[in-house]
Amino acid sequence: MKILVTGSAGMLARDLIPVLKESNEVMPLSKKEMDITQKDAVIKNIKSNAPDIVINCAAYTNVDTAEEESDRAFQVNGIGVQNVAVACAEVQIPLCHVSTDYVFDGRKNKPYTPFDAANPLNIYGESKLAGEKYIQWIMNKFYIVRTSGLYGSGRNNFVMTILKLAKERRAVKVITDQICSPTSTLNLSTGIKKLIESGSFGIYHITDDSGDGISWFDYAREIVSMAGIRADIIPATSEEFPSTSRRPPAKRPAYSVLDTEITRLAVNYTPEKREVALKKFLSRRGISNE
Ligand SMILES: NC(=O)c1ccc[n+]([C@@H]2O[C@H](COP(=O)([O-])OP(=O)(O)OC[C@H]3O[C@@H](n4cnc5c(N)ncnc54)[C@H](OP(=O)(O)O)[C@@H]3O)[C@@H](O)[C@H]2O)c1
């Protein structure tokens, strides 16, 4: 397959592209090369590259600043996705789009299936839900892949942040009252590859396996323990958590674990255990407690 990947400089795309390249031709386009908010450019690029499928990794992903920049968040995550969907529909190719656990409000307290109703608590979640809706209004053939707590290449993710803070401070406050299912971008990439090769269109959840979920606090303890760093991870609630910006952080769902059972049934994708994925990630970076 010829696959066009948008937002190609982002964390997920950087791991996804080599995985796709194992058996496909890949055309990566960064924001500089194709800004998805520019409709004409999107249509022109998709027509001239003539891919068999587009995978949209482009997104506005800063959950906290989205509260103040709601126009920008909707421009990219809503209208930008609409532009990509319109272009794909015009040339009659499917779109695979990446979305988020933050479309849910967290009140279910059990893993969310793709059939549960979305009800985002923050602007980022609302804007991502807008993108999902445009795809469903415009297209017949699409994959929407919701995921959670991504970590992968680069330093801008929870695992790398905890490692850095634990080395610098030896005591790090982490919240206990948000439960999620952290996911390695490498595993998500494998899941996306399997999905787009299946032809089983629809909405799917792909995360690593954390059972009924893990709090960021327990996850941080797991990270420092596996990395062999001596640091105190101190429990905090979201309320008391110190804000790093001028304004309080955006509201987040207290429980946003995604149920991946339908993905297993449809495309035989079985998520890797969170601990195993984390161990592999750390050892790829030469970090271990052994
Ligand atoms: N990270 C997570 O924990 C997480 C959790 C659940 C779901 N997701 C979803 O997973 C997907 C990938 O996330 P990620 O963590 O890889 O995000 P990321 O590292 O922020 O990558 C997003 C990429 O999109 C680019 N971009 C932004 N606006 C664009 C535009 N108008 N046109 C084209 N490209 C644009 C960004 O460029 P600039 O950096 O230059 O702006 C960046 O390279 C997103 O859809 C996100 O919503 C992420």
Q: Tell me, using a 6 A CB cutoff, whether residue 60 lines ligand 1.
A: yes
- 65 close to 247: Cβ distance less than 8 angstroms: no
Give the pLDDT of residue 70. 96
Q: Tell me, using a 6 A CB cutoff, whether residue 37 lines ligand 1.
A: yes
Could you tell me the distance, in angstroms and rounded to a whole number, from the CA of residue 290 to the centre of ligand 1? 34
Secondary structure letter of residue 88 according to DSSP: H
- Structure confidence at residue 287 as a pLDDT band (50, 70, 90): confident
- Structure confidence at residue 170 as a pLDDT band (50, 70, 90): confident
Give the pLDDT of residue 288. 73
Tokens read off for 242 = 């110190």
Give the pLDDT of residue 136. 98
pLDDT of residue 4 exceeding 60:
yes
**Which ligand 1 atom sits nearest the alpha carbon of residue 12?**
16
Give the pLDDT of residue 153. 87
3-state class (DSSP) for residue 53: strand
Give the pLDDT of residue 173. 94
- DSSP E strand boundaries for 199-268: 202-205, 214-215, 232-236
Which residues are CB-neighbours of 128 under 8 A, at least 6 positions away? 59, 77, 99, 100, 102, 103, 120
Q: Tell me, using a 6 A CB cutoff, whether residue 56 lines ligand 1.
A: no
Q: State the average pLDDT over residues 2-9.
A: 98
pLDDT of residue 242 exceeding 80:
no
pLDDT of residue 243 exceeding 70:
no
- Structure confidence at residue 245 as a pLDDT band (50, 70, 90): low
Q: State the average pLDDT over residues 206-215.
A: 98
- Structure confidence at residue 239 as a pLDDT band (50, 70, 90): confident
Distance CA 137, CA 164 (A): 43
Which residues are CB-neighbours of 48 under 8 A, at least 6 positions away? none
Give the pLDDT of residue 268. 96
The four Cα atoms 95, 250, 12, 70 give a dihedral, to 10 degrees, of 50
Q: Tell me, using a 6 A CB cutoff, whether residue 258 lines ligand 1.
A: no
Tokens read off for 160 = 């790398």
Mutate to test the pocket of ligand 1, among 6, 15, 55, 61 (most ligand atoms within 8 A of CB): 61
Q: Tell me, using a 6 A CB cutoff, whether residue 10 lines ligand 1.
A: yes
Active-site residue set: 124
What is the residue with the minimal CA distance to atom 32 of ligand 1? 35
Mean pLDDT of the chain: 95
pLDDT of residue 241 exceeding 90:
no
Give the pLDDT of residue 156. 86
Could you tell me the distance, in angstroms and rounded to a whole number, from the CA of residue 13 to the centre of ligand 1? 9
Mutate to test the pocket of ligand 1, among 6, 8, 14, 31 (most ligand atoms within 8 A of CB): 31
- Structure confidence at residue 290 as a pLDDT band (50, 70, 90): low
Q: Tell me, using a 6 A CB cutoff, whether residue 181 lines ligand 1.
A: no
Give the pLDDT of residue 155. 80
What is the residue with the minimal CA distance to atom 2 of ligand 1? 150
Distance CA 125, CA 272 (A): 26
Give the pLDDT of residue 244. 58
What is the residue with the minimal CA distance to atom 18 of ligand 1? 10
Give the pLDDT of residue 249. 84
pLDDT tens-place string over residues 56-114: 999 999 999 999 999 999 999 999 999 999 999 999 999 999 999 999 999 999 999 99
Could you tell me the distance, in angstroms and rounded to a whole number, from the CA of residue 231 to the centre of ligand 1? 31
Tokens read off for 264 = 């297993």
